Amino acid sequence: MTMTLFSKIILKLVCSMMLIAPFFVSGQTDQHRRGLKDYYKGYFPVGVAVTPRQLADSAQKNFILKHFNSLTAENAMKMAPIHPKENSFFWTDADAIVNFAQQYKLKLRGHTLCWHNQTPRWMFYDQAGNLVSKEVLLQRLKAHIYAVVGRYKGKVYAWDVVNEAVADEPDRMFRNSLWYQICGEDYIFKAFQYAHEADPKAILFYNDYNTEYPRKREHIYQLLKKMRDAGIPVHAVGLQAHWSITNPSKQELESTIMRYASLGIKIQITELDVSIYAKDSDSASGFTPEREQQQAAQYLSIFKAFREHRKQIHGVTFWNLSDRYSWLDNFPVRGRKNYPLLFDAELQPKKAYWEVVNF
């Protein structure tokens, strides 16, 4: 029996109704179903710094799974929390994050193996309270890196091996940390060597902030070049990206990306937030409509640059989930509430979010 034209049209209509019906039923539009990571699928993974408590809370867990496909432990893998005493490790928190990433097939960045902050005192001192020798310190660094990288081998795909070793002062190359005072620059090279030995497949990062300031950018460039020329296994640079509504300009950001990319290394944005205060001295007048607008414009500008440089940018990670909590609530001014992320305290998208996903 042949179908009449009329019944064919009716059949088509019914079929297409059936296809779109679920969205009407759930009241969801495409905009609501897609998360940040989905908009950036063809570009780079979108990550977020987390605590184990957030992963255990069902609302935050669902929010994370909707918007992000990569995680970084905000604190759990840092040296002081994970290696509180020479012969004792605290794995519980880091394990929880690793297990979550495995369960939901999320990428996981390791952060961080060697830093001047959040490092336990025992690392630098002997039992009599004197600073240890270079030999002892490097031995301890090696034991730490072997234990942590070894435990998560194959589960953590990238490590921030050395964090913030370059100085802020324009006339100084290296930060004058205890690492540097005891070992000179060798601790940096050794850290990369140990991490590579512990997991030869991991992508190894040097990670720092203010990477767009010309002098510091150049110092970091020189350090990376020296390591590359010497065959030290540094594969990538992490731009922390603790930025603000006025900094950096698109042009400053692009020059930074191209400068580091010229070394033939990968780049990731590792700790992104955009402070609503242009200066440390700005008074705490809160999230005004003007600042909201400036922040949306700044997010638009930096994500445009990321998209245009998708060949160089291999990942973008936000530092904290939403404006409910950010480390910037207490830095650099104690108690000055900040609103640096794409989601508000109720985990709802802000104006800046829509700028970032509308392209």
Nearest CB to ligand GLA, comparing residues 31 and 118? 118
Q: Is 333 in the site for ligand GLA (CB under 6 A)?
A: no
Contacts by 63-67, CB closer than 8 A, 24 or more apart? 63/321, 63/322, 63/343, 63/347, 64/321, 65/104, 66/35, 67/35, 67/36, 67/37, 67/343
Q: How far apart are CA 289 and CA 58, in angstroms?
A: 32
From the list 178, 183, 189, the residue with the least C-alpha distance to 224 is 189
> What is the per-residue binding string for ligand GLA in 76-95, x denoting contact by CB under 6 A?
--------------------
Q: b/e map of 206-232 (b: 16 or more CB within 10 Å)?
A: bbbbbbbbeebbebbbebbeebeeeeb
Minimum gap (Å) between residue 18 Cβ and ligand GLA: 49
**Contacting residue, 89, 213, 327, 354, with ligand GLA by CB under 6 A:** 327
Q: Which residues, numbered 41-70, are part of the site for ligand GLA (CB under 6 A)?
A: none
The residues annotated as belonging to the active site are 164, 271
Minimum gap (Å) between residue 209 Cβ and ligand GLA: 6
Q: Is 163 in the site for ligand GLA (CB under 6 A)?
A: yes
**Contacting residue, 69, 240, 298, 317, with ligand GLA by CB under 6 A:** 240
Q: Is 212 in the site for ligand GLA (CB under 6 A)?
A: no
Please enumerate in sequence order all residues whose Cβ is within 8 A of that of 14, keeping only pairs 6 or more positions apart, or say none.
Answer: none
Please enumerate in sequence order all residues whose Cβ is within 8 A of that of 240, keeping only pairs 6 or more positions apart, or say none.
Answer: 207, 208, 209, 211, 270, 271, 319
Minimum gap (Å) between residue 175 Cβ and ligand GLA: 13
How many residues sit close enough to ligand GLA to count as binding (CB under 6 A)?
Answer: 6
Q: How far apart are CA 59 and CA 73, in angstroms?
A: 19
Minimum gap (Å) between residue 93 Cβ and ligand GLA: 14
Q: Which residues, numbered 102-121, are part of the site for ligand GLA (CB under 6 A)?
A: 111
Q: Which residues, numbered 270-299, are part of the site for ligand GLA (CB under 6 A)?
A: 271
Nearest CB to ligand GLA, comparing residues 271 and 355? 271
The closest residue (CB) to ligand GLA is 327
Q: How far apart are CA 170 and CA 335, in angstroms?
A: 30
Q: How far apart are CA 279 and CA 169, in angstroms?
A: 19
Interface residue list for ligand GLA (CB under 6 A): 111, 163, 209, 240, 271, 327
